[in-house]
Amino acid sequence: MSSAKRVLLFGGIGLALLGMTYGLWYAVFAEHQALDGIGTSLANSFSAAAHGDQARSSQTMEQYREAKYRYDRQVDAHGHWIGLAMVLIVLGIGFDGVHFSARQRLVLAWLLLSGAVLFPLGVLLQTVSHGSGPRVLAVLGSALLIVSLGAAVAGFLRRPAAA
């Protein structure tokens, strides 16, 4: 097995395990609380509005916004880690069809794996910090993925070099 294939296959399996472990932890310890928080804050906001209490309504709506912001990113990180892991594994299996040199394929494999790890990590870190660091990380990860996926498509379409 070539080094590039090994990076994609073992990296993909590792990433899938990371995504599933995070998903299991999230489902057991955090998701129900998060959904409860979203539903309760929204219902409380409308109940406060029914009482004519605009200040409390706004305050609970702000809680809804924060809870929804966190929930969306936590679910996105889980889904993208596993989805990208599947892409890496399938790509790894068929990577012999990418007609570049062994060295170029190895670089491509590392770029793909780095992007697949960093992009969801950047999304997840946005729940910890609202600053620009996590956003930059997510943009960098997705840029790496876009460039390397484009290169892999070109590699598949390229004619194999004559032996």
Partner 1 sequence: MAAPDALVSTSDPGESQWFAPFSAQRLLVLTGLGMILAGMIFGDIFAVFILHQNASRVGRSLTSAANAALGGDVAGVNSSFAGVGQFLENRGTKVDTHVHLIGYGFLGMMLAIVQPWIALSEQAQRRLAWLFVAGGVVLPIGVFLIHYVGLAYSPLSAIGWASIVADAGGALVMIATAGYLYGLAKHFRTSKRPPIHDPLLSTQTTSTRLLLAGGLLLVLLGFLHGAYYAGADLYPHEAADYHLLSQMSAGAAAQNRAQVDQALADYGQLQGEKAVNIAAHAHFAEFGILAMLLGLFQPYVSLREVWKRRWAAVLLLGSALLPVCVLLEIKFGLLAGGLADLGGLLVIVAGLGMWIGILRYTGSLDVATVRSQ
Binding interface with partner 1 (CB under 8 A): 39, 42-43, 45-54, 57-58, 61, 64-65, 68-69, 72, 83, 86-87, 89-91, 93-94, 96-97, 138-139, 142, 145-146, 149-150, 152-153, 156-157
Shortest separation between residue 11's beta carbon and partner 1, angstroms = 15
* Amino acid making up residue 146: I
Nearest to 20 by CA among 84, 69, 63: 84
Q: How far is the CB of 48 from partner 1 (least distance, A)?
A: 7
Q: For partner 1, which is the closer residue by CB, 97 or 103?
A: 97
d(CA 31, CA 74): 9
Residues 6+ apart with CB under 8 A from 142: 115, 119
User: Minimum distance between the CB of residue 162 and partner 1, rounded to whole angstroms?
Assistant: 16
CB of 38 to partner 1, least distance (A): 11
**DSSP element (H, E) containing 99:** none
DSSP state letter for 27: I
**Please, which residue, 89 or 106, has the CB nearer to partner 1?**
89
Whose tokens are 């069809």? That residue is 97
